[in-house]
C-alpha cells in the first residue's frame, strides 16, 4: 500500500518565508497605486505583475486569487484619479489611448494570474504519490512543446499588432504573459533568451511602428517601454529563482526516494534471510 504522507510544496526556495513574501506583495500594491496616481504620464500599473508573480512562485494561490481583482481595479481607479487631478490639455479627454493601455494591463494581469494558478493546480496533483511519477513523465514529454506553442505565437502576434499601431498604444505590456508561460519549460537559458528578445521588441516596436498619434513628448513613450523591459527582467529573475528551486527540490526528492527504496530492499532481503 502506498503511503500518502504529505510532501512539501515544490515551490521551494520560497518555503519558510511565505509570510514575509505575502507582506511584501501586499505592501507593494499601495506603493504602486500611489506612484501611478502622482507620477504623470508613466505606466506604473505594469508593476502589479511583480507581487502576483511573487505570490505565484511562493505557492500562495489563494492570496494571488484575491489580489488579482484588487490590482485590476486599482489599475482603473488610479487612471480615474489621475484624470481628475490632471486632465489632458488637448485631444480626447476621458476616452483616449491611456484607457486602452489600462485595459491591456488589466488583461495581462488576469492572464498572468491564470497561468500561475494553472501551475499551482498541477503542482498540487504532483504532491500525490499515486500521481507524481505519471505527472513527471507526462510533463517531461509535453512541457517544452506546450511552452513554445503558446509563448512563441503569442509573442509574434503581440509584435505584429505593436508594429501596426501608433507608439502611444503600449501593447508591450502584454509580453509579460508569454514570458511567464515560457517558464513552463524550466529552461533558464530559454527564459533569459526570450526575456532579452521581448525587451528588444518592447523598445523596438516604438521605432519601427507608426509614430505616436498623441501630442506628447516621444521621450515619455520611450521611458515607458524601457520601464516595461525592466519589469520583465524582474519577473524573469523571480522565475529563474523558482526554476532553480524546483530543480533542487526534484533532485532532493529523487535522492530521498532512492534512499527509501534501498532501505526497503535491504529490509526485505534481511527478512528473507531470517
Contacts of 117 (CB under 8 A, 6+ apart): 56, 61, 64, 65
pLDDT in tens, 22-75: 999 999 999 999 998 888 778 899 999 999 999 988 888 899 999 999 999 999
pLDDT at 187: 81
CA nearest neighbour of 77 among 105, 49, 116: 105
d(CA 56, CA 176): 14
Largest CA distance in the chain: 93
d(CA 15, CA 21): 10
For residue 102, pLDDT over 60 is answered with: yes
**Phi and psi, residue 153, nearest 5°:** -60, -35
Contacts of 214 (CB under 8 A, 6+ apart): 91, 96, 97, 166, 168
For residue 17, pLDDT over 90 is answered with: no
pLDDT at 162: 92
Mean pLDDT for the chain overall: 78
pLDDT in tens, 138-190: 555 556 666 667 788 889 999 999 999 988 889 999 999 999 988 777 788 88
Q: How many CB atoms lie within 10 A of CB 101?
A: 22
d(CA 70, CA 164): 32
Model confidence at 92, pLDDT cuts 50, 70, 90, reads low
More confident residue, 255 or 223: 223
Contacts of 229 (CB under 8 A, 6+ apart): 198, 199, 202, 203
Amino acid at each position: 500500500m502506498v503511503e500518502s504522507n504529505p510532501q512539501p510544496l515544490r515551490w521551494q526556495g520560497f518555503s519558510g518565508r511565505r509570510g514575509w513574501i505575502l507582506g511584501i506583495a501586499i505592501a507593494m500594491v499601495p506603493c504602486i497605486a500611489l506612484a501611478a496616481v502622482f507620477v504623470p504620464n508613466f505606466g506604473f500599473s505594469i508593476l502589479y505583475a511583480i507581487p502576483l508573480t511573487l505570490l505565484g512562485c511562493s505557492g500562495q494561490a489563494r492570496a494571488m486569487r484575491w489580489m488579482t481583482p484588487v490590482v485590476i481595479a486599482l489599475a482603473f481607479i488610479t487612471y480615474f484619479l489621475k484624470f481628475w487631478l490632471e486632465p489632458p490639455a488637448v485631444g480626447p479627454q476621458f476616452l483616449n489611448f491611456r484607457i486602452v493601455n489600462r485595459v491591456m494591463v488589466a488583461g495581462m494581469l488576469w492572464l498572468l494570474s491564470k497561468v500561475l494558478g494553472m501551475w499551482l493546480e498541477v503542482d498540487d496533483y504532483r504532491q500525490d504519490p499515486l500521481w507524481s511519477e505519471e505527472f513527471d513523465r507526462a510533463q517531461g514529454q509535453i512541457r517544452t512543446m506546450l511552452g513554445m506553442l503558446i509563448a512563441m505565437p503569442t509573442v509574434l502576434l503581440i509584435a505584429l499588432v505593436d508594429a501596426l499601431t501608433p507608439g502611444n498604444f503600449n501593447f508591450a505590456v502584454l509580453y509579460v504573459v508569454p514570458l511567464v508561460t515560457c517558464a513552463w519549460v524550466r529552461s533558464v537559458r530559454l527564459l533569459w533568451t526570450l526575456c532579452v528578445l521581448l525587451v528588444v521588441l518592447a523598445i523596438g516596436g516604438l521605432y519601427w511602428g507608426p509614430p505616436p498619434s498623441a501630442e506628447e513628448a516621444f521621450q515619455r513613450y520611450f521611458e515607458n517601454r524601457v520601464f516595461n523591459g525592466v519589469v520583465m527582467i524582474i519577473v524573469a529573475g523571480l522565475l529563474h529563482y523558482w526554476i532553480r528551486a524546483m530543480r533542487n527540490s526534484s533532485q532532493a526528492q529523487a535522492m530521498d526516494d532512492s534512499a527509501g527504496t534501498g532501505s526497503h530492499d535491504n529490509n526485505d532481503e534481511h527478512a528473507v534471510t531470517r
